[in-house]
Structure 1
Amino acid sequence: MALLNSGDRVNDTLVIDRLLGEGAFAEVHRVRHAYLGLQAMKLFKKVASLEETHLMLDEARLLSTLGHANIVRLFDANTVQTPEGLRGFFTMEYLPGGSLENLSKAYPHSVPTAIAVDVMEQIASGLAVAHEQDPPILHRDVSLANVLIGYDGSVMRVRVSDFGLAKRADPVTRTASAKGTIAFMAPEVLTNQGYSCASDVWSVGTIAYFLLTDHLPYGETGRYSSYSFARFNRRLLPPSRYNDDVDARLDEIVMSTLQLDPQERPTNARVLADALRRRRRPPAVSYRDRDRGRARHLADEALRLHRIPGELERAADLMEEAIDLWPPLGEQHQPKLLLWRKGVMM
């Protein structure tokens, strides 16, 4: 039974709307703010003081002030009286798309590659901000349940939540919650060898692998497989073995995040985000000197012609040809071309 139910008043401005989900550590409710509309509220099951609530949220509150598009914003933290006694809670932005668990369930076999890569890159961008703090802020519990989805218009916006909570949560209940958080933990974490930025990178790679293949890395067939450490003795197949849409470069990036030795992974989320960005960027094109020279000649001719009455359309055609032949000219002349096409002489 939930600690709070629909219609319960949290304080003067917050009322419980409905339960969104729960784990061994906390309940998540949708709440209605009297002035600000819908928010999400995480209600801790064991945290019973405001001081302890603030302590748990120190890192998350710091990151929230940075206003990064891929980090969930926090609004408030306080305590509320429940049938089980005083309990700590915090409120954050409500994202109607739910978590990545919802996204993965929406596709019976694998999430479309373009969407999966977009998710991976946005998670890495959010984590990179945390990893670049001094000292780095480690998430320690990146999983399907802790990555939320919202939309800016028609654009999907991924936001990482629950920064810092895993560090202070009960290690037993944490690994038992949210459909197997342990499945997203790096080998060095499972063997108590310490946690690093590379451990968060492992978790991002696990999410990407799962979204692309509908399998957990190093696991058995199926969505949620055995969590025994012996699974790391299996050979890891690249995502392309399950998904023909995964290209060689994406294979390489995902596999790099899942190296058993943390020293062999991208050292932090910024390195991973940069690798994904380079993959997305088209390869540089080498232009011959002859093409460059002809393009400049065409551009010069266009600039001469556009001042002659009746020649503006011909000038625009020549300038467009010049830019097609040598695209760097576009930085200088594209604005002129757009005006010429509208019949405006400069």
Structure 2
Amino acid sequence: MALLNSGDKVTDTLVIDRLLGEGAFAEVHRVRHAYLGLQAMKLFKRVASLEETDDMLGEARLLSTLGHANIVRLFDAGTVQTPEGLRGFFTMEYVPGGSLERLTTAYPRGVPTDVAVDVMEQIAGGLAVAHEQDPPIVHRDVTLANVLVGYDGSVMRVRVSDFGLAKRADPFTLMASARGTLVFMAPEVLGNQGYSCASDVWSVGTIAYLLLTNHFPYEDGVRFSSYSFSRFNRPLLPPSRYNDDVDPRLDEIVMATLELDPRNRPATAGVLAGALRGRRESGSRPSEERARRLAAEALRLHRVPGELPRATELMEEAIDLWPPLREHHQPRVRLWRRGVVM
């Protein structure tokens, strides 16, 4: 049973309209503001003291520092009396389009590539603002449910929401403790090695891969709750294997977000956003397209037993064909020549 119901007054100007959904830690209600219209309100379920209330409202304080078109806007925060006692809440903009989960159901055969890339760019743009803080703010729970899709007229606008697990990274290690939704978690997070900006990038890559292919990366046919590290032993197919509209540069960007070693991923969402912007602005030339496709094939092959020499040859050919690939891939080639797979 919900803590608050339709018609309940939160403040003198705020009234509950209806319940939108709930999770383990909070309920989300649509509320009506006397002057500002419809808003969304997050109401925390279990708060036993004023100190815990203050801790829960840390999300509101984080959001209030991140003014960006691709981050949900925060309006107000406070406490309200419920039948279960005093609970913390904050209000934010109401996005009637729903989450990315709803978007995926609208395209049962796969989200169009241009739409998927637009979503990826906007998520990265919003997270980049968080990652650029000092120390960085790491979201730790970037999932389909926590990305909202609305429209400004006919233009889609994506907003990253639910910073409920967000945490400022340790200023020395730039790592945050591991929490979040299992299927979108990076390998190092599943291994209890902590969360970093690169772990958020993995989550964005997981969303992009799913939107482009209708498959989760490293999918192994079992329930996501029972995912094991063994699935990472198989090579990851580039998105173009499932979707002919994915170009070599997009293949490379998405595959980079899903590198098992976080040191080989874009370090922050800002770096990822820059790569996506560069792809959009520069376009591709024939030699570049072939080089990137060769590089993508090399990345696929290098984890296949016995195929490392062939992968090395393909990557060297790609670098010769398009020298700008050298900076990113040459260190990998040196390791491959020594038989080292990272």
* TM class, shorter-length: 0.7 to 0.9
Name the counterpart of 1:100.
100
Q: Does 1:195 align with 2:195?
A: yes
Could you tell me how far apart the structure 2 residues matched to 1:24 and 1:56 are?
13
Could you tell me how far apart the structure 2 residues matched to 1:196 and 1:104 are?
27
Specify every segment of 5 or more residues in structure 1 that has no aligned partner in the other structure, as ranges: 176-180, 286-346
Name the counterpart of 1:242.
242
TM-score, structure 2 normalization: 0.75
Residues 55-97 of structure 1, C-alpha deviations (whole Å, 9 max, x = no match):
3343653443442111111111112222222221111000011
Could you tell me how far apart the structure 2 residues matched to 1:281 and 1:235 are?
30
Within 5 Å, which residues of 2 pair with 1:1-346?
Answer: 1-49=1-49, 51-58=51-58, 60-163=60-163, 165-167=165-167, 175=180, 181-221=181-221, 226-283=226-283
- Change in Cα spacing, 1:32 to 1:115, as seen in structure 2 (3 Å) is same
Residues 155-206 of structure 1, C-alpha deviations (whole Å, 9 max, x = no match):
11111112253559xx99x65xxxxx21001111111111111001000000
Name the counterpart of 2:172.
none
TM-score, structure 1 normalization: 0.74
- Change in Cα spacing, 1:223 to 1:156, as seen in structure 2 (3 Å) is farther
Does the aligned pair in 2 maintain the 1:138–1:164 contact within 8 Å? no
Letter in 2 for 1:46: R
Could you tell me how far apart the structure 2 residues matched to 1:273 and 1:107 are?
25
Range that drifts further, 134-143 or 51-60: 51-60
Residues 102-152 of structure 1, C-alpha deviations (whole Å, 9 max, x = no match):
111111121111111000000000111111111111111111111111211
Does the aligned pair in 2 maintain the 1:95–1:149 contact within 8 Å? yes
Could you tell me how far apart the structure 1 residues matched to 2:270 and 2:133 are?
12
Specify every segment of 5 or more residues in structure 2 that has no aligned partner in the other structure, as ranges: 169-176, 286-342
Could you tell me how far apart the structure 2 residues matched to 1:66 and 1:192 are?
28
Task: Give the number of equivalent residue pairs.
Answer: 277
Letter in 1 for 2:276: L
Moved over 4 A (4+): 48-51, 221-226
Whose radius of gyration is greater, 1 or 2? 1
Kindly, what percent of the aligned residue pairs are identical?
A: 82
Does the aligned pair in 2 maintain the 1:139–1:200 contact within 8 Å? yes
Does the aligned pair in 2 maintain the 1:6–1:17 contact within 8 Å? yes
Does the aligned pair in 2 maintain the 1:148–1:159 contact within 8 Å? yes
Letter in 2 for 1:45: K
Q: CA deviation at 1:54?
A: 3.8
RMSD: 2.3
Does the aligned pair in 1 maintain the 2:57–2:89 contact within 8 Å? no
Letter in 1 for 2:262: P
Does the aligned pair in 1 maintain the 2:60–2:90 contact within 8 Å? no
Could you tell me how far apart the structure 2 residues matched to 1:164 and 1:244 are?
37
